[in-house]
Structure 1
Amino acid sequence: MSDTHLAEKTHHVLETTRSARSGDGHHAEKGHAHHILSDVEVEHQLEEMGYKQEMKRSLGMVAVLGLSFAIMAVPFGTSTTLNIALTDGGPVTILYGWTFVSLVSLAMAASLAEICSVYPTSGGVYYWAAMLSTPKYSAFSSYLTGWLGTVGNWTVTASINFGGAQLILAAVTLFHEDYVPTAWQTVLVYWAALIGAFLINLYGNRHLEMLNTVCLYWTAAAVIMIIVTLLATAKTGRHSGAYAFSHFDASFSGWPNGWAFFVGLLQAAYTLTGYGMVAALCEEVKEPQIEVPRAMVFSVIAAGITGLVYLLPIIFVLPDIEPLLNVASLQPMPLLYKTVTGSAAGAMGLLTLILGIWFFAAVGSLTAASRCTWAFSRDGGIPFSHWWKTVNPKYDVPIPALGLSTIVCALLGLIYLGSSAAFNAFTGVATICLGCSYAFPVLCSLLRRREQVKDAPFSLGKFGYVINITTVIWITFSILLFCFPTAIPVTPTSMNYASVVFAGFSLIAGIWYLVNARKHYKGPMVSQHRNEQAPVHHT
């Protein structure tokens, strides 16, 4: 096949959509924007992309939207990373940083959604990179992107569970101000959270759709109750609009003002990363070529609005920043709740709402990480892949991949025993790795003039080039940006260990590539078929 066309088998998605639009084959119902595929057609679609149907298709768009929203977990994510934005500018960084990153994330989500609508498989970014690259570089592109995406999924899961563990111990300080959580206590709570998420994913898989749907309602209710309570009590008073919309103080960071603002964007960028992870569930969704792309885009829109509704009232009642940055737990939000409400019990009630959101995020992130690990193993991308690629027919869960993801995250927690900056390392690595894995397929599509996505069911149309270029430029800049420490001069506590963790995983991936994958990893099955076939000329 020529380099400028899709592989013969993957054309089925587009041909099905085109036939539906033109009235051929199955007729779309009047008023429907697309042809609704039967389970058999969707299964046949997957087979033509090189895989057999192993997972049960039981999820709809709302469930995937809920999962994406759960992984981003806006009130939880912005709360656990609040110290970053407070250090690097305060109100201006929190408000305008969130707004800017939300808009850029929408461009990123739309770029991925377009590609996902053409290749709706759980392989996600590594499959897309293989199919959008030229045959010569297909396998390496797939391998590189697969590792970035997998590590990104693992570290997002680690950061979510770790942030929750810190919040739980910070809750103790609401009633015992002299209590200082030890590193071992934090790690033990973190491991307990991982085990809980593992068990729910294993035994509650059939209830994940309900769980992700409940997450949407819980988050909405939690945000309303928190902001109403904070604005109504406001024991420390309320700031003026001038303070909320224009106050900037980077004195805690040591960075020049302009640069401090950009470093502080990690709060928003980390929170708004989970939308691409849901591609790993494509093979559990009834109409993945339509529903998963929609869920990606809608979840970012919902998250952006939720973030503004949650953060702006907090800025108006924000107490003195310095005490918040000096908390022993490294999590300032519980103290903020206590200071503003004037009540430890009231703060605990609000924190419980945030921990509820964390519960959904912890379960959902491990779900996505396990499916990503399973999909990449299916094509031989991870050492000893034959162990991790099996699906348990009793539970409809890739139990080995679920276990591997849990164990890797558990081992990452040991970093905290050596440095209290481990959480910032997880957030940085997650943002960098997922960003890289998102950018690579988009860049490949751009370099090949968007030929493979020109007939995508979820099309960006004439805005495609602008949206794709915006995505690549921002991610390239953010990779460098989020390797910087949040404050200078650098101390063992403030050091950004993201580059260290990233280098460690890169070393593992590089060694495995030289030892095994260079000779044996050929990329997804369809890309192998494409590379082996003589050119096919379409009429």
Structure 2
Amino acid sequence: MATAVPQSFEKELPIDHDEKVLLSLGYKQEFRREFSLWTSFCVSFAVLGLLPSFASTLYYGMGYAGTAGMVWGWIIAMVFIQCVALSLAELCSSMPTSGGLYYASAVLAPPGWGPVASWATGWSSWIGQVTSAPSVNYSLAAMMLAARSITVSDYVPTNYEVFLLTAFLMIIQSCISSMPTKWIAFFNSFGSSINMVAVIIVIILIPTATTTEPKFTPTYQVWSNIDNGTDFPNGIAMLMSFISVMWAMSGFDAPFHLSEECAVADVASPRAIVLTSVIGGIFGWVLQVVVAYTVVDIEAVFNSDLGQPWATYLLQVLPMKAALATLALTIIAGFCMGQGCMVAASRVTYAYARDGCFPLSQYWRKVNKYTKTPVNAVWFNCTIGILLCLLIFAGEVAILAVFSVGAIACFVAFTIPISLRVFFVGNRFRRGPWHIGKFGKPVGAAAVGFVVLMVPILCLPSMVGSDLDSSNMNWTCLVYGLPMLLAFLWFAIDARKWFKGPRVNAKHAMIGQVIKELGTQA
């Protein structure tokens, strides 16, 4: 039997569709809805930043499993990442709020488990979001200083310079992220265009301008060469190389967090999620193939004095001027990517602070009366990010752990509400107007299985036995596990007494369900 639709809701539905959906979820409209399907896609595509993401994580893809890991690894990982994206899009259509995953976990959890499910999801999601901009900007700073090293032969960048440049980039991006929504949408549309154009230019430029002889590695060698850079068997090394794919593709959830600023969010936002994942997956794989066919000496790429694998690779296959131009294009695209990360992270922080998840939440949840954006949340994240960058002084392995933390944290947060929807809610899940029908549960199950497998894999160090020491240890367990442990301890000791999860309206009517019921009644 269909649930009765409140008469007032039915009458007012055509007036302001988005506001009614949000009110049905328990929140009032506070942002201007100035994002569209295109601009939401632009933010998420800018967050993906395929070219700078690939350049930043080359160490994991090529370094762990060689060219075979790059071409096969991306294909295999993307099949399951698409499952995650499709399942996430269904949740977004059903519950289009800035809280996103955190809100969905509270709604879908079994009775009495909503607060702890949303708490775990929220903290994991926030850790993934807050580490994204520092990791992007660290890599960006390293590329900028590598460019100087190429032109000034006796220059060697110091950790102090890398840290200051990374912090400076974050401050500039925070200033842009504090602007009104319309300006932010413009900047991110520009940034997304830069990222799209940059990927296409590089995909065309490298094969045509490469100076190596022969130009391309034989196909059989590219697809079969697992140049194992770990102490594990080839199969495990292949799985470990997935971190580059997962980190690069971890930004497709951005439209979910921007849904309260998007028009017709229950349709446009899920479409933006899927569009980002599909287009990003295709272009990312083509870029992987181009590099796999043209790289000459994998060992030299990672052992160069430049200390930046992407810059070393470009010098290996291109004339110096072309290599510097490509590196400059990557840097510009990387800045736009960091900007998109900062915007998405601020919306997550705002949404969680709105429900009291953080200490001093009353400050981080404020919406600036002039810009109508969560400015305090932007600068809170900026401060945390700069503090994380102090890991630079602990060595390269420590700061690189931020990349794997971002991948694990985001995908764990994606998986909690998806697993609840698949294994606990089942057919009682109320779909929004965008959904994948009967394929929802099997696709969601595949997504959960993939993440469950990958979490321990991404925590493995590349060395084992006597070769393993503090300098090459995988610090992901500490950088991700310690904050999560502290969050759970806080919940067990104190937060469980007052934290009841997001303001969930238990009888909220998902807009897809409302339209279906109205049609039935008519």
TM-score for the superposition, normalised by structure 1: 0.89
In structure 2, C-alpha distance between the alignment counterparts of 1:469 and 1:329, rounded to whole Å:
43
Gap runs ≥5 in structure 2? 509-516
Tell me if the contact between 2:24 and 2:505 (Cα under 8 Å) persists in the aligned partners.
no
Partner of 2:514: none
8 Å contact from structure 2 (residues 306, 312) kept in 1 = no
Q: CA deviation at 1:69?
A: 0.9
Instruction: Identify the residue that residue 446 of structure 1 maps to in structure 2.
Output: 422
Offset, 1:90: 1.0
- The offset of 1:214, in angstroms, is 2.6
**Cα distance, 1:411 vs. partner?**
0.6
Matching residue of 2:96: 120
Which residue does the alignment assign to 1:311? 288
Q: Deviations over 1:92-136 (max 9, x none)?
A: 111111111222111100001101111000011110000001221
Q: Is 1:334–2:333 an aligned residue pair?
A: no
CA deviation map 1:147-200 (0-9, x unaligned): 111111111222112111111112122223443322111111110111011011
Which amino acid is the alignment partner of residue 507 of structure 1? L
8 Å Cα contact 1:84/1:486 also seen in 2: no
Counterpart residue number, 1:322: 299
1:526 aligned to 504, 515, 518, which one? 504
Aligned to 2:173: 197
CA shift, 1:485, in A, is 1.8
| Partner residue of 2:338 out of 362, 375, 382 | 362
Deviates more, 1:472-481 or 1:42-51: 42-51
Question: Structure 1 counterpart of 2:312, which letter?
Answer: L
Distance of 2:352 and 2:289 partners within structure 1:
40
Q: Report the aligned-residue RMSD.
A: 2.4
Q: Choose the corresponding residue for 2:452, options 476, 485, 496.
A: 476
Which residue identity is paired with 1:501?
V
**1:212 aligned residue (176, 188, 191):** 188
Q: Work out whether 1:77 is the aligned partner of 2:53.
A: yes
> Structure 1: any 5+ residue segments left out of the alignment?
20-24, 27-36, 531-537
Q: Which residue number corresponds to residue 171 of structure 1?
A: 147
Contact 1:81–1:267 (CA under 8 A) maintained in structure 2: yes
Q: Which of 382, 395, 398 is matched with 2:371 structurally?
A: 395
Q: How many residues align?
A: 505
User: What amino acid is the match of 2:383?
Assistant: I
CA 1:187/1:329 → structure 2, altered by over 3 Å: closer, same or farther? farther
The answer (yes or no) to whether the contact 1:115–1:453 under 8 Å persists in 2 is no
Q: CA deviation at 1:285?
A: 0.3
Aligned to 1:351: 327
| Structure-2 change in CA distance of 1:361 and 1:39 (3 Å) | farther
| Residue 62 (structure 1) aligned with residue 77 (structure 2) | no
Q: Cα deviations across residues 482-537 of structure 1 (Å, max 9, x unaligned)?
A: 1012345334342211111112212331343244311111111125789xxxxxxx
Structure 1 residues 492 and 176: CA distance shift in structure 2, 3 A: farther
Answer with 380-389 or 326-335: which moved more.
326-335
Instruction: Among all aligned residue pairs of Structure 1 and Structure 2, give the percentage whose two residues are the same amino acid.
Output: 27
Q: Where does residue 116 of structure 2 map in the other structure?
A: 140
Residues 163 and 423, structure 1, Cα contact 8 Å, conserved in 2: no
- TM-score, normalisation: structure 2: 0.91
Which residue of the partner structure matches residue 503 of structure 1? 481
Answer whether contact 1:145 1:437 (CA < 8 A) is retained: yes
Residues 289 and 188 of structure 1, relative CA distance in 2, 3 Å threshold: same
- Which whole-Å CA distance do the structure 2 matches of 1:107 and 1:329 have between them? 38
Query: Closer, same or farther in 2 for the Cα pair 1:38/1:161, shift >3 Å?
Result: farther
Using the TM superposition, name which of 76-85 and 123-132 deviates more. 76-85
Task: Using the TM superposition, name which of 55-64 and 39-48 deviates more.
Answer: 39-48
CA contact (8 A) 2:355 2:502 kept: yes
